[in-house]
Structure 1
Amino acid sequence: MKKNIKKSVELIKKREEDLKELKETRKALMNMLEDVDESLSRAEEEKNKTLAIITNLTDGLLFFDKKNNLSLINPQAENYFRIKDKNLINKSFTDLFKIPNLKSLTRLLKEFSYNTNKQMKEIFRKELIIRKDLVLEVSVIPLVGKEKKIGSLIILHDITRKKIIERMKTEFISVAAHQLRTPLSEIKWTLKMFLDKDLGELTKEQQDFIKNIYLSNEKMVVLVNNLLNVSKIEDEKYLYKFELINIEKIIKEVIRDFQGVIKKKKIKLEFKKPKNKLPKLKLDKEKITLAIQNLLGNAIRYTLPNGKVTVLLKNVKKEIEFSIKDTGIGIPITEQKKIFIKFFRAANAIIKETEGSGLGLFIVKNIIEAHNGKIWFESEEKKGTTFFFTLPIPNNSLK
């Protein structure tokens, strides 16, 4: 009987321990559930915050998943295109192209190869005119996680006011430049008459003074012409007259025009060209001459005395490649992205050469691109810069 009592006691103790362990397990599970509930609550709160930010953002947002289906569009984007998201969510890029209000956007994205066959790898930005009263800057950002594309984010930023201000500035510059052109021309020809002694003999001192004034006036004429060219480019009124031309002859003419300053600075200039005759290109002679003048002028201007400038012309597949390499001051790496921006001049260029408008390379880029060409550069500060551009060879080019 004692044995039975002992077994009963042990059984009761075991049950008590099991019950205690069960209570502890229950308590742990309840704590875990509370933690899960808290995490879910926090996640929901963060989700609501994110949605609130997206909903109230002043920029338009669209998100495409990895299959190029639209999975999110915020109210501002809906307002820009005058559409509702219920008609768009989960639609493919191809389907969106069929929606009239989205044609301008989808056409732009198609231009940059945003489709199922060729995915974007880099961020790009471009301006898009939606209506007369709405201009957007479209930025497309590929989203990548663990080296795999998870989708693309499109940001639409309203730059209408900025474009209006730019337009007003351009119109002011155009009017001012036109108004300056006539008096500067009169000053030029009057000074020329003095220098040519049409108005009588001058002393050497008088000649030196008038020559300096004449050269300063010429710089003003160049600046005014550049301002007018920029105004025409921005108004899309920079007209081109294309004809089949030998670019080698144009380069030789430009080099000849710079011989005076080349000799003065004791710069060694080398022109390398292929042995075989190059095909003629479809060019606007006046505009392409201006582009080469700007590039060669910069190379000479920013190369120290006794430096070297190399002009290279070569046939690359279906293109002619032009390059001009100097041993000048180079472009700081932090400023290289801005080099083709209107009115921009690198800090070291301003120190080296205080005079300059920052318009030359802006004009050059527009001229080359109008010829369906490409322009780029390589540069290292204090070592020099090489500018390149390519121009397509037309199929019917004459040898």
Structure 2
Amino acid sequence: MEELLTKSEDLRKVRAALLNVLEDTDELRRSAVDERNKTMAIIENLTDGVILLNKKKQIEIINSPATELFNIGKKEAIGKCFVDLLDIENIPEIKKILIDKDRIRNIYREEVATLDSLHLEITSVLLKDEIEEKGFLIIIHDVTKEKLIEKMKTEFVSVAAHQLRTPLSAIKWTIRMILDGDVGEISEEQRELLEQTYISNERMIRLINDLLDVSRIEEGRLLYNQEDAQMEDVLDSVVENSQEMIRNKNVVLEINKKETPKVRIDKEKIGVVIQNLLENAVKYTEPGGKIKITLDNDEKNVIFKIEDSGVGIPKSQQDRIFTKFFRAENVTRMETDGTGLGLYTIKNIVRAHKGQIWFESEENKGTTFYFTIPINNK
């Protein structure tokens, strides 16, 4: 009898333990449901469109702003392929950039124009663990109004730049004639002042030309003369023309390159890209510092990389580095000459070649810029 009572007591304890486990499990389940509901409420009330894709690139979650942008119901959207929602012309490029498993980076941001005149900034984040890809988080920001304002500003800048270029050119040639003695002799003091004025005027002309290039880019009027060429030839030309600048700054330039496949490029404009990146590296690296250029390729791209040991870019300002007129605070303190247009311009040149450009940087340790050009860029 005593044994039965003992077993009964043991069973009672087991039942009690099981009930406690079930209560804990139920509490955890309710807590998980509450957290999921909170997350869904936050996603639903965001002003930007948010879409969660599974491994098959199918939509699992979509919020109301996204359904409004794409004019589709939630039930209709679930299970669809995200790219099928995009009513744009360059679907293959966008698909490759946003949801290609072979992409180089985990995060991509791309601006697209839809056929019904919407301008969307689409950010794609690859979701993965240590073992496999889990899916993608897509964030869509409507920048149509900003684009309209930007267009008006661009048109104003274009008109103003054209109006300024003519008198500046006249000033340039007048000063040149005086310096060359075409209008009589001048004193050394006069020559020094005129040479300083000439340099300042040249700087203004370069700024005007940069502004006009930006206007052409934004209006789609920047022309490209593409041909099959070797990237190393373009690199060699830029480095040769930059020797004096490198010597004057007393920095060490190391170049590691191999013979890469030919790519279809505008040699002059890709030269502008490399020149701009090299000038920035030299400009923002202290004397005695080191710059390293690497030219390589994988199966799909020719890859250009330039590392410097310079001042770096503050983390809080890195997301603005390719925007117009932006210059990081630490470089404006050490180098007053600059427009903030160079990186914006070269970003658009690289993208016009169907390539990508990005960077890695740590303040006071240096910056590394990369850009790629597709090998089959036909």
TM-score by length of 2: 0.73
Deviation at 1:137, TM superposition (A): 2.6
Deviation at 1:161, TM superposition (A): 1.6
Determine the C-alpha separation between the residues in 1 that align with 2:105 and 2:291: 36
State the one-letter code of the partner of 1:127. E
Rate the CA distance shift 1:64–1:109 in 2: closer, same or farther, 3 A: farther
Give the corresponding residue for 1:349.
331
Q: Which moved more, 1:204-213 or 1:310-319?
A: 310-319
Give the corresponding residue for 1:221.
205
Give the corresponding residue for 1:114.
99
Among 30, 51, 72, the alignment partner of 1:62 is 51
Aligned residues: 372
Determine the C-alpha separation between the residues in 2 that align with 1:349 and 1:394: 37
Determine the C-alpha separation between the residues in 1 that align with 2:332 and 2:58: 49
SS in 2 for 1:126: strand
Determine the C-alpha separation between the residues in 2 that align with 1:156 and 1:86: 19
Question: Contact (CA 8 Å) 1:139, 1:155: kept in 2 or not?
Answer: yes
Question: Contact (CA 8 Å) 2:97, 2:103: kept in 1 or not?
Answer: no
2:114 aligned with 1:130: yes
Give the corresponding residue for 1:361.
343
Deviation at 1:79, TM superposition (A): 2.2
Determine the C-alpha separation between the residues in 1 that align with 2:307 and 2:125: 35
1:152-163 residue pairs with structure 2 within 5 A? 152-163=136-147
Determine the C-alpha separation between the residues in 2 that align with 1:281 and 1:148: 33
Determine the C-alpha separation between the residues in 2 that align with 1:319 and 1:31: 59
Larger Rg: 1
Question: Contact (CA 8 Å) 1:120, 1:142: kept in 2 or not?
Answer: no
Deviation at 1:228, TM superposition (A): 1.4
Determine the C-alpha separation between the residues in 2 that align with 1:121 and 1:388: 12
1:161-183 CA distances to partner (integer Å, 9 max, x unpaired)? 22222222222222222222111
Give the corresponding residue for 2:312.
331
SS in 1 for 2:220: coil
1:53-95 CA distances to partner (integer Å, 9 max, x unpaired)? 5555433343445555434433333322222234343x343xx
Deviation at 1:350, TM superposition (A): 1.2
Question: Contact (CA 8 Å) 2:87, 2:115: kept in 1 or not?
Answer: no
Rate the CA distance shift 1:163–1:217 in 2: closer, same or farther, 3 A: same
Q: Which moved more, 1:346-355 or 1:104-113?
A: 104-113
Question: Contact (CA 8 Å) 1:266, 1:307: kept in 2 or not?
Answer: no
Deviation at 1:155, TM superposition (A): 3.2
1:170-209 CA distances to partner (integer Å, 9 max, x unpaired)? 2222222222211111111111111111111110000000
Determine the C-alpha separation between the residues in 1 that align with 2:132 and 2:46: 28
Deviation at 1:301, TM superposition (A): 2.5
SS in 1 for 2:72: coil
State the one-letter code of the partner of 2:190. Q
2:172 aligned with 1:191: no
Unaligned runs of 5+ in 2: 1-7, 13-18
State the one-letter code of the partner of 1:289. G
TM-score by length of 1: 0.70
Rate the CA distance shift 1:280–1:176 in 2: closer, same or farther, 3 A: same
1:263-274 residue pairs with structure 2 within 5 A? 263=247, 265=248, 267=250, 272=255
2:217 aligned with 1:236: no
Determine the C-alpha separation between the residues in 2 that align with 1:74 and 1:41: 23
Determine the C-alpha separation between the residues in 2 that align with 1:54 and 1:270: 49
Rate the CA distance shift 1:148–1:392 in 2: closer, same or farther, 3 A: closer
Give the CA RMSD over aligned residues.
4.9
Rate the CA distance shift 1:75–1:217 in 2: closer, same or farther, 3 A: same
Deviation at 1:133, TM superposition (A): 4.7
Give the fraction of aligned pairs with identical amino acids, expressed as a percent: 45
Deviation at 1:218, TM superposition (A): 0.7
1:117-143 CA distances to partner (integer Å, 9 max, x unpaired)? 889993433333335453233334455
Determine the C-alpha separation between the residues in 2 that align with 1:212 and 1:35: 80
1:139-178 residue pairs with structure 2 within 5 A? 139-141=123-125, 152-178=136-162
Determine the C-alpha separation between the residues in 1 that align with 2:322 and 2:187: 45
1:363-378 residue pairs with structure 2 within 5 A? 363-377=345-359
